[in-house]
Amino acid sequence: MLDLKLIRANPEQIQELLNRRNGNYDIQPIVELDRASRELETHRSQLSARGNEIGKLIGKKIGSGSDPQGEEITRLKTEGNEIKAKLSQLEPQEKELKAKIEAFLLELPNLPDESTPIGKSEADNVEIKRWGDEYIPNERNILPHWEIGEKLGILDFKRAVKVAQSRFVNLVGAGAALERALISLMLDTQIAAGYTEVMPPVLVNSNSLQGTSQLPKFAEDSFKCSNDDLWLTPTAEVPLTNLYRDEIIEDTELPIHHCAYTPCFRREAGSAGRDTRGLIRLHQFNKVELVKVVAPETSDAEHQTLVKNAEAILQALKLPYRILELCTGDLGFGATKCYDLEVWLPSAGMYREISSCSNCKDFQARRADIRFKQAGRKGTQYVHTLNGSGLAVGRTMAAILENYQQSDGTIKIPDVLQPYLKRETL
């Protein structure tokens, strides 16, 4: 959530930054509502002060011998009652205005960082790094991962439709083992890098989704349990960040680094017709997520380390990838700055996103009210939150099935996974 005081003080600057995004965001309604709210608050405060003054004056005059039933006291009591009546009307009006302001604020995305490249769409993203070109397969006739997976009997899409619907998959035999091995590798790597593993609930409430900005804007992309205020989590970013919702953290506890494996669930409502085959865009998928809760002055450096933590998995697996710095027009709703890691898929001859590493600064912390108290400093500050995939497991499997295909139709298992799987090929 954006800082209302910042909007109030610099409306033109805030509007200009929002205009850099891919969307039509107008802060004028908030500016007008805020002005009306403050005027109403001032009027209410003045009335309340006059009411208090009248109460004291009546007591003072009666104490000095004035007749409690006399004209002067009666006049003051009448004025006091009129003020009470006006206040009873103003308070709900003020509450309604504040609710409208909050509703508008919840619909506004984070402000792009000044260092974020300006652009209109993903075509304007900036490639900043490539790694592993030497590992790109020379083989030309590489089958798409869903074809080789079905051929090997490790991916079963047809029966998954019977059990659920399209865009689900059964992982069978070595496919299930490979998925587990990847999850273990990812968690072991991040724990060694200093993250604390959490196994959180995968059902989350509406407040949690609102805290990390999936609600209200992206409600249609999530699965809701109709009988409860619970949703299937779209990413472990939601439960991990909301562990600290409505809390004041001691600065000695920062930074907090968490990693978690969870299944994730998304309707993919805005991607009709895209990636209808394979593991790229499923309704249910496994992911290892990285979340950081840090002091503001360290968040830029923490962001760079977060990217390196995600890269470490791709490098360990020797999967070719590149890093894009997202432009303002392609930036996620809650991010102020973001790097996407894209892995090479040879059957498509292109890189595909496998991790998105975002710095949200205080945007999520304001929505979830996560603050910290710094020793020797009055009051509290909002923390900065960061998140990134470390990695999307299904997409990692897809990359392995394609980049490690051999001419005899088998899949060579990356060296780093062989101790987990106790085999060299699939």
What CATH number is attached to the domain comprising 92?
1.10.287.40
Q: Which amino acid is at 346?
A: P
Instruction: Check residue 271 and give its pLDDT.
Output: 64
Please tell me whether residues 197 and 293 are part of one structural domain: yes
Condensed to tens digits (0 to 9), the pLDDT of residues 278-287 reads 999 999 999 9
Q: Which one, of 364, 365, 356, 296, lies nearest residue 332 by Cα? A: 356
Q: Do the Cβ atoms of 151 and 375 come closer than 8 Å?
A: no
CATH of the domain at 142: 3.30.930.10
Distance CA 217, CA 214 (A): 6
Question: Does 240 fall in a domain?
Answer: yes
Whether 68 and 215 map to the same domain: the answer is no
Domain end residue (candidates: 58, 78, 107): 107
Tokens 């409306």 correspond to 11
Q: Tokens for 325, please give them.
A: 């710095």
Is residue 276's pLDDT more than 90?
no
Residue 270: pLDDT over 80? no
Average pLDDT value for residue range 329-357: 97
Q: Which residues of 243-260 are buried (b: 16+ CB within 10 A; e: fewer)?
A: bbbeeebeeeebbbbbbb
Residue 299 lies in a domain: yes
**72 and 215 within one domain:** no
What value does the mean pLDDT take over residues 384-398?
A: 98
Q: Three-class SS of residue 48?
A: helix
* 353, β-bridge pairs: 342
- For the chain, give the percent of residues with pLDDT over 70: 99
Confidence of residue 365 (pLDDT cuts 50, 70, 90): very high
Kindly indicate the confidence band of residue 273, based on its pLDDT and cuts at 50, 70 and 90: low
Locate 206 and state its tokens.
């509406």
How deeply is 16 buried, as exposed, middle or buried, from its count of CB atoms within 10 A (0-12, 13-18, 19+)? exposed
Predicted TM-score (pTM) of this structure: 0.93
Residue 68: per-residue pLDDT: 84
Q: Would you say how long the chain is, in residues? A: 426
Per-residue pLDDT averaged across 301-316, rounded? 98
Domain that holds residue 366: 122-421
In a domain, 114, yes or no: no
Cis before 216? omega within 30: yes
Find out whether the peptide bond into 255 is cis, omega within 30 degrees of 0: yes
Quick check: is 394 in a domain?
Answer: yes
Q: Average pLDDT for residues 145-153, to the nearest whole number?
A: 97
- Give percent above pLDDT 90 in the chain: 89
Count how many domains the chain has: 2
Residues 80, 47: one domain? yes
Does residue 340 surpass a pLDDT of 90?
yes
What average pLDDT score do residues 54-67 get? 87
> 68-72, 293-297, 387-391 — which is least confidently predicted?
68-72
- Same domain membership, residue 171 and residue 300: yes
Q: 15-51 pLDDT, tens per residue?
A: 999 999 989 999 999 999 999 999 999 999 999 999 9
Residues 393-417 have pLDDT tens digits of 999 999 999 999 999 999 999 999 9
Residue 17 belongs to a domain? yes
Catalytic residues: 266, 281, 353, 356, 395
Residues 290 and 246 reside in one and the same domain: yes
Would you state the structure tokens that stand for residue 44, as one six-digit string? Answer: 């209410």
Same domain assignment for residues 275 and 385: yes
* Pick from 406, 4, 385: nearest CA to 213: 385
Q: Check: CB of residue 351 under 8 Å from CB of residue 363.
A: no
Q: Which residue, of 51, 78, 107, is where some domain finishes?
A: 107
Domain shared by 261 and 386, yes or no: yes
Answer for the pair 328, 121: CB distance below 8 angstroms, yes or no. no
Same domain, 32 and 132: no
Are 55 and 136 contained in the same domain? Answer: no
Q: Is the predicted pLDDT of residue 63 greater than 90, yes or no? A: no
290 within a domain of the structure (yes/no): yes
Across 41-66, average pLDDT: 90
- The tens digit of pLDDT for each residue in 168-187 reads 999 999 999 999 999 999 99
| pLDDT band at residue 139 using 50, 70 and 90 as cut-offs | confident
Would you tell me the crossing angle of helices 393-403 and 299-317 to the nearest 10 degrees? 40
Provide the token pair at 347: 């059957």
Which two tokens mark 368?
């979830």
Q: Are residues 218 and 304 in the same domain?
A: yes
With respect to residue 115, please indicate whether it lies within any of the assigned structural domains: no
User: Is 90 exceeded by the pLDDT of residue 359?
Assistant: yes
Structure tokens at 366: 């304001």
Given 75, 107, 139, which residue is the final one in a domain?
107
Lowest mean pLDDT among 223-227, 263-267, 271-275, 327-331: 271-275
pLDDT score of 123: 97
**Residue 117 falls within a domain, yes or no?**
no
CA torsion, ordered 65, 68, 72, 77, to nearest 10 deg: 130
Same domain, 292 and 347: yes
